[in-house]
Structure 1
Amino acid sequence: MKVGVISLGCAKNLVDTEVLLGKLKAGGATIVSDPRRADVIVINTCGFIEPAKMEAIETILEFAGSKKVIVMGCLVQRYKEELKKEIPEVSAYFGTESWDSIVEFLNLRSNESKRIITTPSSYAYLKVSEGCNRLCSFCAIPLIRGRHRSRPIEEVVEEAKYLADQGIKELCIVSQDTTYYGKDLYAKPYLVELLKALEKVEGIKWIRLLYLYPTEIDENLLSYMAQSEKVLPYFDVPLQHVSTEVLKSMRRGYDEAFVREFVEKVRKNIANAVLRTTFIVGYPLERERDYQKLLDFVREGHFHWVGAFTYYQEEGTHAYALGDPIPQREKEERKEELLRVQRDITYQKNLSLVGKSFELLVDGFDEEFGFVPVGRIYAQAPEVDGITYVESDKELKAGDVVKVMITQVGDYDVGAKVL
């Protein structure tokens, strides 16, 4: 049986896809990269916000009817009955974490398996927990993924060892709420203990923390990151807004004063910290003055990287009752303006790197520019940040760690020369 798998959505969804690929292969299926060559297509969907849902539906409709299609993931977890009614051509629908059910449905053998890595051979995502206990008013994730469930530390470390054996050099730690890790299993935050165990895994060079909740980043974590040899001084912290009124309605558990104290606390403890955040614009209670406050805050230049999303009204969330009073066009204009402001800040921050040397992890080659080596320094997370184009007199391969000096910059990407 030839099976093609299409993965949509976030890095956490990609990990689920890689687990499924491993189980399918162990069960006797042949994995094909081109879905058109497959006997069966499995589509792992995202159901977070409207654009993601539309992408998933369009992908399903592209293949349903012409191929045997199985749909799984967040969209199904949220809208299974509606999907079965509207797109009956699909052979079967499965929710999240349904790998074994899919293997059984395809009459494949259920064998012990390891996930198949689909990222470049230099890095992989390591999911440490599932679900979320936060009650953010705009977010449907708890409705889809359920309450927070940490994986035992031994299980996470065992998977990290497997990834290291595959040649992986960078672990990107992911979950819905990474700083909540361990509270359910060990009755206290256990992220630092997890990091200590992961640092002992031979072959791993970098550990990057993604999806940190701001109120959980305490002195203990900052102190550990400041002295760690492997945990990068990189903070991916979705703040969502800075206006106290908006944050209160969002049920984030902090206000503008906290946000400002937070960025100062990180800088005070780790001078070379790189901050990435995301903001939502067009939230129902976001007045013009709230948006301007957010824009002014971004102009202050606290962040190396900023992502922005327009608000989408999601049924089942606390904010759904607030309606969606701000026109989508106005939301898009706010988003584009905010990103334009941040683009100039990112350029200036990249400019400050010129002449400085860093370790760089080689991810592969850019074919468009004649197979130029590309990689990332510690300030660049995979897939969401800029990349570094590398000039080298010696041959490089994915997974190499080399010393480089930054020589030129663009809006987001930089150029470097191997020392």
Structure 2
Amino acid sequence: MTIDKSNLVDFITLGCSKNLVDSEHLMRQLAVSGYQVHHDPEKPEGRIVIINTCGFIGDAQEESINTILQFAELRKQKKIDKLFVMGCLSQRYLKELEEEIPEVDHYYGKFNFNEILGDLSKTYNPNFALERSFTTPSHYAYVKISEGCDRTCSYCAIPIITGKHKSRSQEDIIQEVQWLVSQGVKEVQLIAQDLSYYGYDINGKPLLPDLVNRIADIQDLKWIRLHYAYPANFPYKLLDVMRERDNVCKYLDLALQHSSDDMLKRMRRNITLDQTRTLLQAIREGVPGIHLRTTMLVGHPGETDLDFQALKAFVAEQRFERLGVFAYSHENGTYAYNHYVDDVPKTVKSDRVSEIMELQRTISSELNQQKVGKTFKVIIDKTEGDFYVGRTEFDSPEVDPEVLIAKTNKLSIGSFYSAKIINFDDYDLFGEVVF
């Protein structure tokens, strides 16, 4: 069957899962308007291309610009008819992009991307506002519960891009999750720039515990996972919900960034090392068995070797189950850009990233070894070579370790199984299904 390429839209999404949600909602609107939509195709074939960009840090910006330039050349050669750019990069640098890459037909920001429909002579259909086309396996989905951020971290450009925190209504979120479950979704990842702040702009108090509790009531929803919580003013009542509700994963993504009091102050994190330790102790005691994911930032202006050694000691002390590290990027418009000198050499930043990750590799391997012989509930995401690839409740898609199960028995993608862990490596586990 011949594909009508004039009616085919190639959609490229860069950056985080929050961008992915925006792409999925726009893709659904395009689909109900009569377009065929391909997401991240290996070989783009459509006459219309939409690029959803990331503008968080330098490396992400460079990837977005290079992708735009690649398709701008195709536009110049008339190999595509329309090229649209949306998302964080164009939200932040709209005028500069319009001047530097005029081959793009139109640039949109992070919040007006539905205008693409009008530019394609289509109309936004509110009847499908909560629906989306899946770019993930159909058994899990990301659900964005808010936009923006009210925090004032020195290094972060997100508030510049997204503006102030704005919570979605609980009713809106519940309806979206109900629709997802009706489509076969068994697991949702609740995401936001800052989950902890959810509800403050509605009635001045944290509503995340209440929201998660209500979502947990949705029938046939097996797993709920929480991403991107903030340590300062953490909503402690959430721990009760996580402990008491069986379908709330014992997993929390809590970005800590550093442990040195001096660095925490310079980063404007509004929390101290002692307060951080108190919070971590409360989380582990309040939700026994919880797995914590965190992120650390190295090379921030003013970070001394003493600060870095304190961070290494903290990582060794806390033994986080999941940990990522990124190097400071001197982002125009941020507090750090305006008030600090980017005084840590790039090579030092890179070495510090490597040191923390090497430490974490050892910790992860030791924690994995402790799981050998134990049995876990595992969801199967896909197949790779001779293995089924699954995850426990302690693992988020794409970013966390996986459970590899040999194709000895036929398993179904998107189904749950009990798997006994028989071996491990630094990050992944090897299991066999217990029938």
Shared fold by TM > 0.5? yes
> For 1:47, which of 29, 37, 55 is the aligned residue?
55
Partner amino acid, structure 2, of 1:407: I
Considering only aligned residues, what root-mean-square deviation do their CA atoms show, in Å? Answer: 1.3
C-alpha offsets along residues 109-152 of structure 1, whole Å, 9 cap, x if unaligned? Answer: 43332211111122110111111110111101011001111111
The aligned counterpart of 1:8 is 14
Q: C-alpha separation between the residues in 2 aligned to 1:380 and 1:110?
A: 36
The answer on whether the counterparts of 2:208 and 2:235 sit within 8 Å (CA) in structure 1 is no
> For 1:77, which of 91, 102, 113 is the aligned residue?
91
SS in 2 for 1:28: coil
The aligned counterpart of 2:394 is 379
SS in 1 for 2:228: coil
The aligned counterpart of 1:201 is 218
Q: C-alpha separation between the residues in 2 aligned to 1:172 and 1:252?
A: 25
SS in 1 for 2:232: helix
Unaligned runs of 5+ in 1: none
Partner amino acid, structure 1, of 2:341: G
Q: C-alpha separation between the residues in 2 aligned to 1:300 and 1:91?
A: 53
C-alpha offsets along residues 56-75 of structure 1, whole Å, 9 cap, x if unaligned? Answer: 00000111131321100000
> For 1:163, which of 175, 180, 194 is the aligned residue?
180
Deviating more after overlay: 394-403 vs 74-83: 394-403
Q: C-alpha separation between the residues in 1 aligned to 2:419 and 2:329?
A: 42
Deviating more after overlay: 110-119 vs 349-358: 110-119
Q: Give the drift of 1:324.
A: 0.8
The answer on whether the counterparts of 1:211 and 1:237 sit within 8 Å (CA) in structure 2 is yes
Residues 15-414 of structure 1 mapped to structure 2, 5 A cutoff: 15-33=21-39, 34=41, 36-66=44-74, 67=80, 68-111=82-125, 112-113=127-128, 114-320=131-337, 321-366=339-384, 369-370=385-386, 372-391=387-406, 393-414=408-429
SS in 1 for 2:114: helix
Structure 1 stretches of 4+ with a deviation exceeding 6 A read: none
The answer on whether the counterparts of 1:5 and 1:43 sit within 8 Å (CA) in structure 2 is yes
Q: Give the drift of 1:269.
A: 1.6
Q: Give the drift of 1:201.
A: 1.2
C-alpha offsets along residues 372-412 of structure 1, whole Å, 9 cap, x if unaligned? Answer: 21110011111111111124654212210111111110111
SS in 1 for 2:110: coil
Q: Give the drift of 1:261.
A: 1.5
The answer on whether the counterparts of 2:258 and 2:264 sit within 8 Å (CA) in structure 1 is yes
Q: C-alpha separation between the residues in 1 aligned to 2:269 and 2:107?
A: 34
C-alpha offsets along residues 51-91 of structure 1, whole Å, 9 cap, x if unaligned? Answer: 00000000001111313211000000100000011111111
The answer on whether the counterparts of 1:19 and 1:99 sit within 8 Å (CA) in structure 2 is no
SS in 1 for 2:379: strand
Unaligned runs of 5+ in 2: 1-6, 75-79
Deviating more after overlay: 30-39 vs 246-255: 30-39
Q: Give the drift of 1:195.
A: 1.0
Q: C-alpha separation between the residues in 2 aligned to 1:157 and 1:393?
A: 39
Q: C-alpha separation between the residues in 2 aligned to 1:27 and 1:98?
A: 18
Deviating more after overlay: 216-225 vs 382-391: 216-225
Partner amino acid, structure 2, of 1:386: P
Q: C-alpha separation between the residues in 2 aligned to 1:319 and 1:50?
A: 15
Partner amino acid, structure 2, of 1:152: S
Q: C-alpha separation between the residues in 2 aligned to 1:352 and 1:270?
A: 19
Question: Scaled by the length of structure 2, what TM-score is found?
Answer: 0.93
SS in 1 for 2:210: helix
Partner amino acid, structure 2, of 1:357: T
Partner amino acid, structure 1, of 2:352: R
SS in 2 for 1:156: helix
The answer on whether the counterparts of 1:4 and 1:42 sit within 8 Å (CA) in structure 2 is yes
Deviating more after overlay: 386-395 vs 152-161: 386-395
The aligned counterpart of 1:417 is 432
The aligned counterpart of 2:4 is none
The answer on whether the counterparts of 2:382 and 2:388 sit within 8 Å (CA) in structure 1 is yes
The answer on whether the counterparts of 2:10 and 2:46 sit within 8 Å (CA) in structure 1 is yes
SS in 2 for 1:185: helix
The number of residues matched between the two structures is 416
Partner amino acid, structure 1, of 2:358: R
Q: C-alpha separation between the residues in 2 aligned to 1:29 and 1:314?
A: 38
